[in-house]
Structure 1
């Protein structure tokens, strides 16, 4: 039984047949749909959604009447009411589910509202991505009919008085449609497991019973899972266990630093598919084989705005100013970094998601993720993005034929000036002086501002080689183990202090 032979609900079939209009028209249609649905909510009444709908230019009117929000602002002013069980706050009805989202820089979890409307939009995007695989050349499409191993968060959600909370991946699996269940691995019992180490062990024990064609998850945990299967059954590669494994769907972090180590575990080449599925919604996905970017979801359930990521709109700490310049999709330019504002079918309005993106093909609405608004280094004007860091690590590791699955960077004082301190995970023997020199030189080639500052106020670049386990142990000590948690590429403030204490063998909170 092929997954695409399943009879889908009529509402989803109708959505899949929507014509492909231009992105601007699609986005305005989505905005109007969101506004009409939420016009009678408290948020919609306060910010005059009826007036926006009546305007000849609803996009501009929306930006004029509705302020921008970060998490703390929208939670303190609006979302806290929904957690108390109050209906019709930012979206019609009561919010029954919340995705818990937290970066390592945040001590408390963020409660992101999840609605059936949002999940339905996510499902439609997932199916569209599956359909796009038919255009891939040299790929056995039959692999889609095999098992889908999804390394997701626990489906055992936290229950409160008025809601359930957990990882978005866990909520999605728990509410997955009936037609997907026969393909889904590791199954409901293992999916409930909250302890990630136990979950991986149980997956390893079940591995011989499955015929896996797809693996979905964050690269670090998928790689660890495959290593455990290979070690447990004394295999040469993962394809000796799963010969039909042809696809790896990944997202959340750049795959390039993991790719070299990942491919050592394979018996044949597989197809990598990048997705941009955040707790707030399914934002983009790789639509074409060998595409350099992901296609933004412009016609379903998310309205997108783009704030130029520059000194006019963000301060030195990555905080957005109150009334930033915000562009619609037809106003952007290729090659520039933008911070994303999203409005979704879950009552998320003009919300700063925290990621920065760059258009690599405006006509196709294809973007790459370049970093986070707060995860960048610019101590003296070097403007070093996560995209620069990922590329430098990739090029340096290829030059030395080593795998660097994790890394992070900190800006530190250097006399009266500054330096960068790199921490990299590498389990092989490596000449750290040669490695840091390669990283430094590659960054000079990739970033003109960095090259200039290396001749002035950025006086030195240092490097410490650690094991991958040390990175994992730090995350565990911070209580952030699992597929939704990624090690930050830039360390600042209290997080840097905790990292330094951890490396010195001291207890951290």
Structure 2
């Protein structure tokens, strides 16, 4: 056992103990954090405009600070991007994390001297929790790969800008530098397909022990490895034993990954966003991810079914309940206030506070009032693939409101690695599973308003071709699970099998 492995265990134990102690006092810590954030930002332009000096309670805060998305906060962000100081947070941002906006082109999310360390420590602590629980430190002795965006950064008025994953590449601890792959030069390749080939070149003969990235893009890496060697990933890398992922639910990919690897490996789910590192999986046995309540963010929650109401219920951590689908709202030490990142979550534990990501508030199907969400379609398809030979590479769902004949329906675009023997039976079973979860959908089927779902099979590689066609192949880009229109569906139809 290496010295690194020996030292990691007591350190992991102390970090886990500290985290759980904070978790047991989460509500108090959250209110204390809100006061601290308000005090630190009261002399900023945003703080003055929203009377931070008069805020003495959470009730006061709600009166003065409305819920906003990026579009509504954009005028403040633009001032910071133009080089102004003390706009959303004291001083100037350390970086801008550049993300793809759906309505306004590129978005620039501020990262500050106070917020950047919270991203790094959360990623590190997720691994330390794993070590503390499993006592497995083997992965520390091999090579680790993080499939991410380019670390090359641009600059806007003296502030560096880039993808969050690329910015984070500048903060790899010294003790991991020798273990980390791919090389800096390979990481800087913009073309995703060329980058994957280069990563395979660099890693195929290495002792890879930890692999991390968004499942859909790691899958592409695994397939290239197998294509190159004719071996399963687990045979190429016999000591590979930990997969770290984020961005999407792993369950739809699990069967496919276990087949590509040739065996099961431990997994750690992360919930990082450019706006803040929100949660990570702290246990291999407990459901959900631990909400990070002392990580520079004060959280608010709005029941998703009320979100578009004129006066929706807006609560703090103190009043959340199990099993409710909430829109999560952030207030951060990077100067985001009442900020809707667009995600929906559900609490699966209140002691400690653990969550699952259920989808996106804008990614749903409610063409007929059914309000089907991401978690429901993922659970429906997982229920019919788990423990079977059926393997799904990727899928998305959209409504077909005006079919050429018959009743409207939900159309599922699925790229199979292994197709079901009986597609009609499979489709019916998935539809029944969805009906059991969503009573509105059941009523629409039962009342003959909708007919059961239809599966449209996409050719192998079709989703990647679609993503490439819209300039979103690789990196942190993801295919939405649900759309309430046909924009993605119509493009995917070009790749129908």
- Give the TM-score normalised by structure 1: 0.89
Contact 1:356 1:370 in 2 (8 A): yes
Residue of structure 2 in register with 1:218 after alignment: 214
Deviations 1:5-25 (A, max 9, x none): 5999xxx99x97985551111
5+ residue gaps, structure 2, are none
Deviations 1:26-70 (A, max 9, x none): 111221222222121111122222222xxxx62222112111111
Contact 1:3 1:180 in 2 (8 A): no
Deviations 1:90-123 (A, max 9, x none): 01111242212226x4461221112232111122
Q: Structure 1 residues 177, 58: closer, same or farther in 2, change over 3 A?
A: farther
Instruction: Find out whether 1:314 has 2:313 as its counterpart.
Output: no
Residue of structure 2 in register with 1:231 after alignment: 227
Displacement, 1:435? Answer: 2.3
Once the two structures are superposed, the pairs formed by residues 270-349 of structure 1 within 5 Å of their partners are: 270-310=265-305, 313-315=306-308, 321=309, 323-349=311-337
Query: What count of residue pairs does the alignment treat as equivalent?
Result: 486
Pick one of 84, 89, 93 that aligns with 2:87. Answer: 89
Instruction: Find out whether 1:425 has 2:443 as its counterpart.
Output: no
Once the two structures are superposed, the pairs formed by residues 50-199 of structure 1 within 5 Å of their partners are: 50-52=53-55, 58-76=57-75, 78-102=76-100, 105-106=102-103, 108-137=105-134, 140-199=136-195
Displacement, 1:192? Answer: 1.5
Contact 2:367 2:484 in 1 (8 A): no
Once the two structures are superposed, the pairs formed by residues 335-484 of structure 1 within 5 Å of their partners are: 335-398=323-386, 401-414=389-402, 418-430=408-420, 431-456=422-447, 457-484=449-476
Contact 1:214 1:246 in 2 (8 A): yes
Residue of structure 2 in register with 1:241 after alignment: 236
Displacement, 1:245? Answer: 1.2
Q: SS where residue 463 of structure 1 aligns?
A: strand
* Separation in 2, partners of 1:502, 1:298: 40
Q: Structure 1 residues 246, 197: closer, same or farther in 2, change over 3 A?
A: same
Contact 1:97 1:165 in 2 (8 A): yes
* Separation in 1, partners of 2:419, 2:21: 54
Contact 2:398 2:489 in 1 (8 A): no
Q: SS where residue 43 of structure 1 aligns?
A: helix
Q: Structure 1 residues 204, 483: closer, same or farther in 2, change over 3 A?
A: same
How well do the aligned residues superpose, as a CA RMSD in angstroms? 2.7
Displacement, 1:385? Answer: 1.3
Residue of structure 2 in register with 1:318 after alignment: none
Deviations 1:209-262 (A, max 9, x none): 532221110001111111211221222x21222222111111111111111010
Q: SS where residue 458 of structure 1 aligns?
A: coil
Residue of structure 2 in register with 1:47 after alignment: 50
* Separation in 2, partners of 1:324, 1:134: 41
Residue of structure 2 in register with 1:31 after alignment: 34
The worse-fitting range, judged by mean Cα deviation, of 34-43 and 277-286 is 34-43
Contact 1:432 1:465 in 2 (8 A): no
Deviations 1:240-299 (A, max 9, x none): 222221111111111111110100122432111111001111000111122210010101
Deviations 1:324-353 (A, max 9, x none): 321111101101100010011111111001
The worse-fitting range, judged by mean Cα deviation, of 277-286 and 461-470 is 461-470
5+ residue gaps, structure 1, are 316-320
